Amino acid sequence: MFRRCLAALTACLLITNLLDAAPRKPIKVFILAGQSNMEGHGTVNANSARNNGKGSLEYLVNNSDTAAQYQHTVNSDGTWVKRDDVWIEYLGRKGNLSVGFGARDHLFGPEFQFGHVVGDHFKEQVLIIKTAWGGKSLAGDFRPPSSGGVTGPFFTEMVSHVKQVLNDLEKLFPDYRGQGYSIEGFGWHQGWNDGLKHDTVAEYESNLVNLIHDLRKTFETPQMPVVIANSGFGGKNQKIDRRLGIIHAQLNVAKRSEFKNSVITVETRPFFRPAEISPSRQGYHWNHNAETHFLIGDHMGKAMVKLISPE
């Protein structure tokens, strides 16, 4: 009996060693960028004093009408799921994918459900690098080099930060074993600041086209899949011409023949939720509605998977 147990233990140790020695596949890297709504303002915890907690992730998880859609985000003991197969790095904050990687620790952004979608799709380890800063324009702050004029400081900072993270993978993520990486896609959610003036609206489409080309060149990924979440603030009732101009520019980019099968724009207007069922009245932050941020991330993730795996 002892010999059989010893043999079984030896076999298990041998298998474990073989698995550890087996080459690991390169991790799948996704870059997410933009301004405050990519930072993320989705409310995690319910506040009963604000519309009875409606519009928070906690409310959605516990509400019988929505619980099934969100059950993958919470453990049986009520704590939030932390996915060790999806890592995230957001301007110095890092860890396993969960809530709390938004503009503040009590918020989340599109990265949350985006990470769940791509994490479910890929067997390989996934890494999301998020670079987002509030109140930034594409015409100035993120201005791509090929748009001419002065290159935006946050274009430079975005590229620099992504490269720094990729160079420091072993230090940032101890479970990284030198298996290498591949940049799989880029996600963009931005537009509020450019929608403040007609002249920045007029150049938005060309600037976004240049951003895509310049990032593909910079990261040496000529066909890098790109998903854009448009600026659907105000929902289907949006009437302000400047806001509609940004929305249509973002939609038009994906319709260009040069981007066929490599760029998708997600229409976000249906995801806007009114203040009466949201944690706040900040329309420019989607009223801090968790469902909105979740749906944006969900559709961005599904669009990215579609581009990478058309079948």
Residue 82 belongs to domain with CATH number: 3.40.50.1110
User: Domain for residue 94, yes or no?
Assistant: yes
Distances (CA, A) of 273 to 69, 100, 147, 176: 17, 21, 35, 40
Q: What is the largest CA-CA distance in the chain?
A: 82
Q: Is residue 59 part of a domain?
A: yes
pLDDT over threshold 50, residue 19: no
CB 119 within 8 A of CB 85: yes
Would residue 13 count as lying in a domain? no
Does pLDDT of 1 surpass 60? no
Tokens for 292, please give them.
């909105």
Q: Is 23 within the bounds of a domain?
A: no
* Single-letter amino acid code for the residue at 296: I
Domain that holds residue 251: 37-308
Number of domains in the chain: 1
| Domain assignment of residue 232, yes or no | yes
SS3 label, residue 256? coil
The band of 18, judged by pLDDT with boundaries at 50, 70 and 90, is very low
Structural tokens at position 84: 């060790």
The pLDDT of residue 16 is above 70? no
Distance in angstroms (rounded) separating the CA atoms of residues 229 and 234? 14
Determine, yes or no, domain membership for 16.
Answer: no
Residue 311: pLDDT band by 50, 70, 90 thresholds?
A: confident
Question: Average per-residue pLDDT in the chain?
Answer: 94
User: Is residue 148 predicted with pLDDT exceeding 70?
Assistant: yes
Q: What gap in Å lies between CA 283 and CA 235, rounded to an integer?
A: 10
User: Average pLDDT of 136-148?
Assistant: 98
pLDDT (0 to 100) of residue 12: 54
Q: What is the pTM of this model?
A: 0.92
In this structure, what are the phi and psi dihedrals at residue 209, rounded to the nearest 5 degrees? -60, -45
Res 310: pLDDT: 87
Helix (H) or strand (E) holding 241: helix 241-255
Is residue 187, in this structure, part of any structural domain at all? yes
- Whether 109 maps to a domain, the answer reads yes
